[in-house]
Amino acid sequence: MGVLEIKDVTLRFGGVVALDHVSFTVNKGEIFALIGPNGAGKTSMLNCISGLYQPSEGTISFNGQVINHLKPHKRASLGIARAFQNIELFPHLSVLDNLMLGRHVRMKSGLLSCGIYWGKAQREEVEHRRKVEDVIDFLEIEDIRDIPVGTLSYGLQKRVEMGRALALEPELLLLDEPMAGMNNEEKEDMARYIIDIHEEMKTTIILIEHDMGVVMDLSDHIAVLDFGKLIGYGTPTEIQNNPKVIEAYLGEEQAG
Ligand SMILES: Nc1ncnc2c1ncn2[C@@H]1O[C@H](COP(=O)(O)OP(=O)(O)OP(=O)(O)O)[C@@H](O)[C@H]1O
C-alpha cells in the first residue's frame, strides 16, 4: 500500500502553475526520486507534502489520512520530516542542540508539566537524548557533537541537516538535493547514509536530486516533472528508456 498518495495536485501562484494535476503513489519503505529540469515544480511538491504550501486543488494522503490542511508541525508529528536544500540549522548552536531541537515535536512535556511532573519530564528528556545520541552514532558525527554548526564544513553541515530530520524518527523523510554542492567523496558518503537509513531504519525516502548517477543507483521509483506536469513515472530502467523524459530532461543532462 502507498504510504503517500498524491492525487491530482495543482498549485498555482497567481498566473504561474507550479504543479498541474500531478498524481503518484510512494510505496512504504522505498526510495522515491523526484527529478526534472529547473523550475519543474520539484521543491513545490516537497513543500506541499511537508505543509509549507497548500495545494490549490487535489489531495495528499499520508497513511490513508488526508493531510492537505495540516500545518507543518502537525505533519512532522505524524512522522514526515524534511531536510532542506539550503541548510536550516541554528549556526551558533552545537550539533547536539540542533538535533535536540529537531526532535522537539516528539517531546510531550511542556513547561507546565515540567513544573508539576518534574521526574517524568526528566525521564522523557533522557529518552529523547538517547534517541538523538543514536542518530549521532549512526551518522558518525560523535567528534563534532559539541561544535557550533556554523563552523563546520558544508558537507558536514548537510549531514547534520539530515540528522536534524532523522532525530524526529520519521516514517517519511523528504530530502531536497542532499548532495548539492558536495565533492565526490562527500556525495559517496551521503549516498551510503541514505542507503543505510533505507535499509536499517526502513524509512520511506523522497529524494530530489540532479545527479542522475545517484538517482538511478538509489531509487526504486522515479517521478519526472516538467513545467509542473508529471511526464514520466517508473523504475530507473523505465525512466532511462522513456522518450518523453529523454527529450525533456535526460538528453539535456547527458549533453550537459
Ligand atoms: N513561493 C512562490 N511564489 C511564486 N512562484 C513560485 C513560488 N515557489 C515556486 N514558484 C514557481 O513555481 C515553479 C516551480 O518552482 P520549484 O522551485 O518548485 O521548481 P524546482 O523543480 O524545485 O526547481 P529547482 O530544480 O531549480 O530547484 C517555478 O516557476 C517557480 O518560479
Nearest-atom number in ligand 1 for the CA of 85 is 27
Per-residue pLDDT reduced to its tens digit, 54-80: 999 999 999 999 999 999 999 999 999
Which residue minimizes the CA distance to atom 4 of ligand 1?
13
The pLDDT of residue 117 is above 70: no
Q: How confident is the model at residue 142 (pLDDT cuts 50, 70, 90)?
A: very high
Helix axes 154-166, 95-102, angle to 10 degrees: 30
Which residue minimizes the CA distance to atom 23 of ligand 1?
39
Mean pLDDT of 188-212: 95
Nearest-atom number in ligand 1 for the CA of 53 is 1
**What pLDDT, on a 0 to 100 scale, did the predictor assign at position 255?**
41
Please tell me if the CB atom of residue 18 comes closer than 6 angstroms to any atom of ligand 1.
yes
Question: Lowest-pLDDT range, 18-32, 151-165, 221-235?
Answer: 151-165
Per-residue pLDDT reduced to its tens digit, 90-107: 999 999 999 998 887 777
Neighbour tally for 10: CB within 10 Å: 16
The pLDDT of residue 23 is above 60: yes
**What pLDDT, on a 0 to 100 scale, did the predictor assign at position 253?**
52
Cβ neighbors of 215 (< 8 A, separation 6 or more) are 33, 35, 207, 209, 222, 236
Q: How confident is the model at residue 110 (pLDDT cuts 50, 70, 90)?
A: low
Please tell me if the CB atom of residue 43 comes closer than 6 angstroms to any atom of ligand 1.
yes
The pLDDT of residue 21 is above 80: yes
The chain-wide mean pLDDT, for the chain, equals: 91
Q: How confident is the model at residue 115 (pLDDT cuts 50, 70, 90)?
A: low
Closest C-alpha among 60, 58, 56 to residue 46: 60
Respond yes or no on whether ipTM tops 0.90: yes
The pLDDT of residue 252 is above 90: no
Nearest-atom number in ligand 1 for the CA of 45 is 18
Mean pLDDT of 115-120: 61
Mean pLDDT of 231-253: 90
Mean pLDDT of 25-36: 97
Q: How confident is the model at residue 196 (pLDDT cuts 50, 70, 90)?
A: very high
Cβ neighbors of 103 (< 8 A, separation 6 or more) are 128, 131, 132, 167, 168
Nearest-atom number in ligand 1 for the CA of 177 is 27
Mean pLDDT of 154-161: 92
Question: Lowest-pLDDT range, 72-76, 102-106, 187-191, 239-243?
Answer: 102-106
Fold of 1-79+170-256: Rossmann fold (3.40.50)
Q: In this structure, what DSSP letter does residue 177 have?
A: S
User: What is the domain partition of the chain in residue ranges?
Assistant: 1-79+170-256, 89-168
Gap from CA of 44 to ligand 1 centroid (Å): 6
The pLDDT of residue 205 is above 60: yes
Which residue minimizes the CA distance to atom 14 of ligand 1?
41
- Can you tell me the distance from the alpha carbon of 36 to that of 248, in angstroms, rounded to the nearest whole number? 8
C-alpha cell at 97: 542542540
> What's the predicted TM-score (pTM) here?
0.90
